[in-house]
Amino acid sequence: MKRSKKDDGAADGENGSTKKAKPSKEPEAPILYEDPPDKLSSKDGKEANLKITSWNVDGLRAWVKKKGLDWVSEEAPDVLCLQETKCAEKDLPKDITSLDEYPHKYWATAEDNAGYSGVAMLCKTEPIKVTYGIGKEEHDKEGRVITAEFPDYFLVTAYVPNAGKGLVRLDYRKTWDEDFQAYLSGLDQQKPLVLCGDLNVAHQEIDLKNPKGNKKNAGFTPQEREGFDKLLAAGFFDSFRTLYPDQQYAYTFWTYMMGARGKNVGWRLDYFVLSSALLLKLCDSKIRGKAMGSDHCPITLHLAL
């Protein structure tokens, strides 16, 4: 929320005398997050051999026009997960359908509105199996989840529903959180998993610029934060906070309004969440804040499997 500021200008006296003007304050320079060099080995000394990138693109076609794929080519992940694609499969840009680097491409869209929600997963190596949704029609019709099974792990990409303006979907979001956690726990019983995507919650006050002004806003309500608490209590780990527990000013989303990104007035809404069995294989969890093309920035995970 934007706070009002008192004028620092001088006030004229009634008799024409003037008070000495206070020197105007220089605007404080924003504190930006600098992504440190990638760590490419795990705690037990193994070298990273799996690189996953996740990005909420806020409209796939617009993101392609903004040269998002140029950044992907430079980053060169083994798997690319996208959220909020807002695009029916028949309308996908040729620039992305013809990507030879990722021969295995999977798309999920909302049943009733292809311009709403939507996720994608692009893989260099073919998964053993790919499924869509979490097995509950009330959630799956919105095209929010793709799960890929690989030999050593599951990869789940998700675009978690927003509680909405005025919190009109908060009750639905609470139901989603419960059902989604149950789904993830079921997978975790079979083999370890990586969850990535826009989870639409800033978990702790450190995860957004203005926590005090947002406690009643979607993404930072007690109910949504509690939902994430329960996910972690079920045996999962926020990879970024595992490695960087006290890192401030590390955000992945900035509204387009009021120059928020330039001022780094943001939220950390995008995550890599890991099963406990993958913690020793964790090398690094990155926030690529300089990558443009959306109101979110991409995040990247390095694992040594």
pTM for the predicted model, two decimal places: 0.91
> Six-digit token pair at 266?
């943001």
- Residue appearing with tokens 């975790």: 188
Residue 30, SS3? coil
Question: Closest Cα partner for 283 from 297, 262, 303, 258?
Answer: 303
**pLDDT exceeds cutoff 90 at 136:** yes
Q: Which residue has the tokens 């990409």?
A: 157
Question: Is the per-residue pLDDT at 271 higher than 90?
Answer: yes
Give Cα 186 distance to the centre of its chain.
23
* Residues flagged as binding site for Mg(2+): 56, 84, 198, 200, 295-296
Helix axes 222-233 and 170-188, enclosed angle (nearest 10): 10
- Residues at the binding site are 56, 84, 198, 200, 295-296
Whether residue 2 is predicted with pLDDT greater than 90 in this model: the reply is no
Instruction: Decide if 147 contacts 124 (C-beta within 8 A).
Output: no
Arithmetic mean of pLDDT, 31-48: 96
CB atoms within 10 A of CB 25: 8
- DSSP, collapsed to helix, strand or coil, labels residue 181 as helix
Torsion sign across C-alpha atoms 270, 299, 82, 113: positive
Amino acid 22: pLDDT:
57
- φ/ψ of 230, rounded to 5, equals -65, -35
Active site residues: 159, 198, 296
> What is the Cα–Cα distance from 144 to 134, expressed in whole angstroms?
9
DSSP state at residue 159: E
- Residue 41 has φ and ψ, to the nearest 5°, of -145, 150
At 108-128, the pLDDT tens digits run 999 988 888 999 999 999 999
